[in-house]
Every structure is written in structure tokens, then in C-alpha cells.
Structure 1
Amino acid sequence: MFLNTIKTSDGATTQRKRVGRGIGSGNGKTAGRGHKGQKSRAGGYHKVGFEGGQMPLHRRLPKRGFNSLKSNKVASLRLHALVNISDSPITITTIKDNGLIPGGMKQVKLYLAINDSIRTKLDLEGIKVSKGVKREIEAAGGSVK
């Protein structure tokens, strides 16, 4: 093999299209731009989203800011986090006041960690709980409302 014998494989390279070079080239006369109109002119084009003067979709729709409609307002919390709270009954505001969840949360759900077991009596109001948490709280003499 010599350097002067190396060729590219068939179809690997194509010649560039030379537009506006006569009828025989297949791209003569209008040079592939069609007839008349803004897109056929030199320098004539419009921005992305332009709808011919009609109010564009991105301006027709209402502004929503950065508040996601899908955002989850339910905080997850492990059961052992509530052991140090002395208030009774424990509500969402109690949990927020103790700094266990952020202020923007609307609901709380308690889950059971692997080695979670409590001996203190807990009374919960307005808090979602898993089956395991409910079983643990009731075994310790507490209640879930």
C-alpha cells in the first residue's frame, strides 16, 4: 500500500451543490429557492417561532413563572425524627416549628426506617403515615387521626 493509492470508499464524499449555474445543473434559475416570497430573497428570513404576523404561540400562552404545577408539596419523614417532639398532638405546624421540614410543604408522610421502633407515646393529627408507622405508634400506645 502506498499513500498515492489510498482512496475514499464509494459514497463517502460528495461534491458540494453549485446552485444557480444553469438549467443543466438541476439547480439553475431559482437555485432551489422556489418562486418569490420572503424566503427566496437574499437576506430575507424570519426568526424562529414567527407565524407570519399572527401572535406567536409563546406570546399567546400565559406566563407561569417558575412555580411548577407538578411540584410535590408532600414531605417525607422518618418516624424516629418525631421522638424528640414533646408537643401533643403532633401536627404539620409542630413539625415545621421544630425545623424538620421546609415551610412550603403542605403535607407530611411518615415512613418506617429499617431499625425504627419507638417506645414513647405519639398522637398524630393530619399527618399521613405508612402501615408500618401506624403499627409502631399504636403498639406504643399512641394514635393516628
Structure 2
Amino acid sequence: MKLHELQYTEGSKKDATRVGRGMASGKGKTSTRGHKGQNSRSGGGVRPGFEGGQTPLYRRLPKIGFTSRNQKEFVLINLNDLEKMGLATVDHKTLIEAKVIKSEKQLVKVLANGTLTKKVNVKVNKISQSAKAAIEKVGGTAEEL
């Protein structure tokens, strides 16, 4: 079989129904739209979400909350995560290698959940004050970019 020999199976392709092509076709005159009314007219019908005058769903549901367009999303790392990683320096490059973050553009914040026993040099976007104190207590450095 070659590409130019490919054919559809018999009966699998049906021609589109042609409406408004004379009375003899059986789909003439009103063209399957019925007599009069909004839906028989060109451009007729109702907008999406219209429920026949009933208060539509989008108005019945409560509107709550607010999402800021300028919100910054941080990848959160705790001190016990730093302990598990066992890295001497923690920055964007080492976090990508450890598959904690996916790109240099992601923002990273270190939080003080857990304990730290090893000396670690941290260079990330944000560090909580208690995490900074815990890192410096062990002898490491904590620097915000």
C-alpha cells in the first residue's frame, strides 16, 4: 500500500446536510429552524450563560477573595531540608542540581522549621530572621540576594 492509494472505508464519510436548497430536498424553506421565533432569525439565539431570565449561575455564586497579579511565589525550604541535602553552599545553582527548583528565575525562601547541625553558606532571595540566626549560630553565613 502506498500513500496515494489510501482511501476512507465505505460509508465512514457522510456529506454535510445542505439546508435551504429547495422544497424537494426536504430541508428547504425554514431550513430546519422551525417557524418564527428568536432562533429562526439570522444572528438569533441567546448569549452563553443565559438562563431564560433566571438569575444566572455566575451571579448566584458568592464573589470572594482577591488574587494579586503581582504576587511573588516562593519555593520554601526549611532548615531540616538543608540538613538532609548536606550541601556546603546553598544557592540557585546547587538547588537546581539537587532538583529542588527548576530554574534560576524561581524565588527561594529559607524558613526556620527544624534544626541545623552542619555549617552551611546560604545565598537565596529571602531568609526568615529565625532561620538566619540558626544558620549563623552553627557558623554558616546567610545572605539575601
Would you tell me which structure has more strand in proportion to its own residues? 2
Which TM-score tier does this pair reach, normalised by the shorter chain? 0.3 to 0.5
> Which structure has the bigger radius of gyration?
1
Using structure 1 for the length normalisation, give the TM-score: 0.47
Using structure 2 for the length normalisation, give the TM-score: 0.47
